[in-house]
Chains A and B, each alone.
Chain A
Amino acid sequence: MARYESLLDACGGTPLVGLPRLSPAVAEGAPPVRLWAKLEDRNPTGSVKDRAALFMVRSAEESGALRPGDTILEPTSGNTGIALAMVAKLRGYRLVCVMPENVSSERVQLLRMYGAEIIFSPAAGGSNQAVAVAKQLSAEHPDWVMLFQYGNEANARAHFETTGPELLRDLPTITHFVAGLGTTGTLMGVGRYLREKVDGIEVVAAEPRYGELVYGLRNIDEGYVPELYDATVLTRRFSVGTRDAVLRTRQLVEVEGLFVGFSTGAVLHAALAVAHEAVKAGRRADVAFLVADGGWKYLSTGAYGGTLAEAEEALEGQLWA
């Protein structure tokens, strides 16, 4: 069906597309190893976060935590804020977002366009600092509702009830699911669903390895693991550096015509690693990975232009010195 009563009803139901050019070649007669991309950029505000935002708001409405005219407060580096801003607008709420001050101008413009108010937290503290500032604001404004995507079960449930079933419906032969690890909601929800339905399913996390600024904590004890995270849902977890993520992001658009954000490049890097392992072992594999968003919001970085060698050179010594 391609007709919906409202934009909110058009959330989810995203395409799963094969990547025949990027899938590794196998020897003649060997079992096929195929890569599939779940295009979550085809959601109403252009990212996977529409699913979580809609489920978190609905859940808060149903529990009575959220009433018409209320203010929603959320620490977010962008996509969740944009998704929540759209949902809040259509459902009649005010949205206040807390985000690190070093985010791209596209995100800030998008959020303001959707009607969100923004409070910046110091860049040096990364997203941990944004979470801390949001928690402080929440204490000062007890009437504001913090949906808190890092700990809200409705975030993971959105993927257990929608993304997971869509993947299995479209790819019954799935052997691996690969996605980025942020709030962990996508991997927890899809992972739990597929583990219930598919024997031997591999649930693989690709975790971005940030620049040192993000890790500049004073003490290990100030670290943070999202409340949603349950390591037993995953089977493997990779750390992917910026250079690999940017190279894969460019490869996706050059080889398969898919224009995606950098986090998807990190996810593809992990997906290719498990795909090549399957080829080596002579095992059949259908590796589905999640495209969290398109590349539009990152164009101002300039990282899509120039040659691959220039990008590599530009990143050398920047994050891994």
Chain B
Amino acid sequence: MAIEVRIPTILRSHTGGAKSVEGAGDTLAALLSDLDAKYPGLRGRLVTEAGGLHRFVNVYVNDEDVRFLGALDAKLSDGDNVTILPAVAGGAFGFAAAAAIVQHSAAQAARRRDPAPAGQR
């Protein structure tokens, strides 16, 4: 049973730099145990000693926050997507989205201005 798990930048030291890894488990708790066997220390960054999800960690199953789906007991199925993200202050979405679009447009414009190496023209 394969579940794709997206790893945020700050936790990629545990996954050898991988942005996305695969794991297995029919609950989030089982998935995290499975991942911890392959990527030691990862579970400890997400789950507190008391056994709950870390306050500043958000985990989503198919884009829905697991805290409203049973937290660590949230059920998982083959093909689900799990996304792990740190909690950040909200309210800047328009700019985060806009900045990404502008950066990409600028990169595309630069490519259009200089489409191929000089020798190929």
Tell me the A residues contacting B by CB distance below 8 Å. 76-80, 100, 102-104, 107, 123, 126-128, 130-131, 150, 180-184, 205, 207-226, 231, 234-242, 245-246, 261-263, 266, 297-298, 300-303, 314-315, 318-319, 321
Contact = CB atoms under 8 A, between A and B. Distances in A.
Contact of A239 (B58, B91, B104, B108): B58
Given A217-B88, A239-B83, A302-B105, 18 more contacts: A78-B94, A123-B99, A127-B90, A128-B88, A182-B90, A183-B91, A209-B85, A211-B96, A214-B88, A215-B86, A220-B86, A223-B87, A224-B56, A234-B68, A238-B63, A246-B97, A246-B101, A321-B19
B9 A224 contact: no
B100 A318 contact: yes
B94 A263 contact: yes
B54 interface: yes
B19 to A, nearest CB: 7
Contact of B100 (A79, A100, A104, A211): A211
A150 B92 CA distance: 13
B95 A216 contact: no
Interface of B: 8-11, 19, 45, 54-58, 60, 63-65, 67-68, 83, 85-105, 108
A236 B97 CA distance: 23
Contacts of A262: 93-94, 97-98
A301 B101 CA distance: 7
A91 B76 CA distance: 54
A272 B83 CA distance: 21
A211 to B, nearest CB: 5
B101 A207 contact: no
30 contacts: A76-B91, A104-B98, A126-B92, A130-B89, A205-B65, A208-B96, A210-B88, A211-B99, A212-B8, A214-B92, A215-B8, A215-B9, A216-B10, A225-B87, A226-B89, A235-B68, A236-B68, A237-B67, A239-B64, A239-B83, A241-B63, A262-B94, A262-B97, A301-B97, A301-B101, A302-B102, A303-B98, A314-B101, A315-B104, A318-B104
